[in-house]
Amino acid sequence: MAQEEWQQSLKQSVTSVKQLADDFDFDQRQLEAVAARYPMRISPYYLGLIEQVGDPIWKQCVPDVRELDPSGMTDPLAEEDFSPTPAVIHRYPDRVIFLVSGSCASYCRFCTRKRKVGCTDMSLSFRELRAGIDYIAANAQIHDVIFSGGDPLLLPDSVLQDLLARIYAIPHVEIIRIGTRVPVTLPERITERLCAMLKKFPPLYINTHFNHPRELTSQATEACARLADAGIVLGNQTVLLRDVNDQPEIISELFRGLLKMRVRPYYLHHMDLTRGTGHFRTSVKTGLQIMYSLRGPVSGLASPHYVIDLPNGKGKVPLIPQYVKRKGNDLMIYAADGSVVEYSDIVDG
């Protein structure tokens, strides 16, 4: 069977520091050691978004010597401890992550699963995938299944359709979500054929992963439009990254742009404590200041939940700026412009 355009494009990805050096001037020797530990892959499309060494796109996909810092946790969310089968992560009672793919179109240098994605043969056998499906079918409290990996949309249409159909047929599964970055890094993957197939499994939600306004290209916009036109609800999970998007004006531009693309900002993630990603971490104060800056100037539709995914599998916790202080029976509420408004409260009981 002939390969599709996106599959041919993926084969042309940059996977070595030497290849990257053909287009950019940098010290190869340092980065080769990093790529040997944490493999790199940059799709031709995403490579084309890099304007210069060290820009926001470069930092997200090109190895950095700071990744070899031994501090941090290999599995900060304790996913291995919450995996009853190799294909399933079950941290919350009503939902599971279903790991269906071991690779991505481009490997993010800040990935929570960088311990395994692209590093080893993460591809699961049909038997392991079937065991995951059986586990989901046997646990009636599971209502929400999140396809993840790696990137589920790197699977061929036929394989993805088979997995979706098997999960969709489980009576107690109410919704299916897919986590993917291909609209950002490989938008040609979002074909009309793929969208027609996905349309068969409502309600289907896709959370994608735009981190910077420069990723909101015409190609990405067209890919998201195809998905939205197929009736798929689109959300976005942005990671707060030092020296990439940790400025209020960058985040507000990103979130406004996403809304124009019919993609709802869903989460702003504080960086996990993953080994090899410490140079991307910001303070929580920075994140709270960014969230505060969105109130008023930016539509509430563009204000996601700012969350920390707690270590050891304790789950996501929202963080919000402090807008209210009590003064006797009254409240002192901070308005979007920074002024303080006295608000008369009622006393319970």
Summarize the annotated binding site as residue ranges.
104, 108, 111
104 labelled catalytic: yes
Using only C-alpha atoms, the chain has a radius of gyration, in whole angstroms, of 21
Q: Exactly one of 41, 59, 61, 91 is catalytic; name it.
A: 91
Q: Exactly one of 226, 272, 275, 306 is catalytic; name it.
A: 272
113 labelled catalytic: yes
Residue type, 266: Y
181 labelled catalytic: no
What element of type H or E holds 340? strand 340-344
Q: Exactly one of 46, 59, 109, 111 is catalytic; name it.
A: 111
First to last CA, the chain: 72
108 labelled catalytic: yes
Q: Exactly one of 41, 59, 113, 115 is catalytic; name it.
A: 113
92 labelled catalytic: yes
Q: Which residues are annotated as a binding site for [4Fe-4S] cluster?
A: 104, 108, 111
316 labelled catalytic: yes
Handedness of CA 193, 50, 180, 103 (dihedral sign): positive
107 labelled catalytic: no
Q: Exactly one of 104, 114, 195, 306 is catalytic; name it.
A: 104
Give the DSSP per-residue string, 115-175: TTTTTS--PPPHHHHHHHHHHHHH-TT--EEEEESS-GGGS-HHHHHHHHHHHHTSTT--E
Q: Exactly one of 166, 262, 264, 316 is catalytic; name it.
A: 316
Give the DSSP per-residue string, 16-36: SHHHHTTT--S-HHHHHHHHH
66 labelled catalytic: no
Q: How many angstroms separate the CA atoms of 102 and 278, rounded? A: 23
Q: Exactly one of 92, 168, 205, 292 is catalytic; name it.
A: 92
Give the DSSP per-residue string, 166-217: HHHTSTT--EEEEE--HHHH-GGG--HHHHHHHTTSSSEEEEE---SGGG--
309 labelled catalytic: yes
Q: Exactly one of 61, 108, 195, 224 is catalytic; name it.
A: 108
Q: Exactly one of 41, 95, 256, 275 is catalytic; name it.
A: 95
* Sheet order of strands, 95-99 included: 88-92, 95-99, 144-148, 175-179, 204-208, 233-239, 264-269, 305-310, 315-318
Burial class (CB in 10 A: 0-12, 13-18, 19+), 343: exposed
Active-site annotation, residues: 91-92, 95, 104, 108, 111, 113, 272, 309, 316
